[in-house]
Amino acid sequence: MRLALQKPWCVRTLGILAALMPLLLAYPATAQEVHPTEAQVKAAYLYNFGKFVTWPDHRAGDSGSFQICILGRDPFGKVLDSTVSGEKINDKPIVTRRISRVQEAQACNILFISTSDESRLPAILPVARAMNLLTVSDMPNFANHGGTIGLVLQEEKVRFEVNRTAAGEAHLVLSSQLLKVASKVIEKGTPGN
């Protein structure tokens, strides 16, 4: 009699499992197909670049936070904020700021220059270098035009190019690990020299 009571429970459980099986089998395939967006990859790069750059001593202690600033139209939305939420670089909490003029970037460590400011680039870069900022952008040929790190699409993947001369002029030391994974390293040739 005890077996008779357990049997309906077993049949019901097996029926539920059989009904859920297609969902359980479909989940891993769906999870494998999910890829980060371009904005998520670029935000992750911005966060990680800060770990592989050394700023001059006078800049290292300027602020109680590590600031990533976006100059111009923000291409990230909330993606950058969520990427760095709760994270630290050099034992400092990461703060994101949106600014409209390079002169507002005094406390920034990393300055992402939006493509909306491409026409102002020749005026922005010398000021950013004087402030010892790591400049990053996804505008075409950014590193060739004197920016420190240019984000580029290669074979449908986000990669980055590094301009060592621009980094040197900003008194930034780039880790050899960062240089090893760059798709291109430019040794000289920033505009305005």
Please tell me the predicted confidence (pLDDT) of residue 19. 38
> Exposed (0-12), middle (13-18) or buried (19+): which is 126, by Cβ within 10 Å?
middle
| CA–CA dist 150, 168 (Å, integer) | 16
Tokens representing 135?
């400049």
pTM: 0.79
| CA–CA dist 166, 145 (Å, integer) | 9
> What whole-number percentage of the chain has pLDDT above 90?
73
Is residue 60 very low, low, confident or very high in pLDDT (cuts 50, 70, 90)? low
Phi/psi for 154 (5° steps) reads: -135, 120
Q: What is the dihedral of CA 47, 152, 184, 140, to 10 degrees?
A: -120
pLDDT, tens digit, 9 for 90 and up, residues 116-158? 999 999 999 999 999 999 999 999 999 999 999 999 999 989 9
Give the residue from 117, 82, 85 showing the smallest Cα distance to 99.
Answer: 117
pLDDT, tens digit, 9 for 90 and up, residues 74-125? 999 999 999 999 999 989 999 999 999 999 999 999 999 999 999 999 999 9
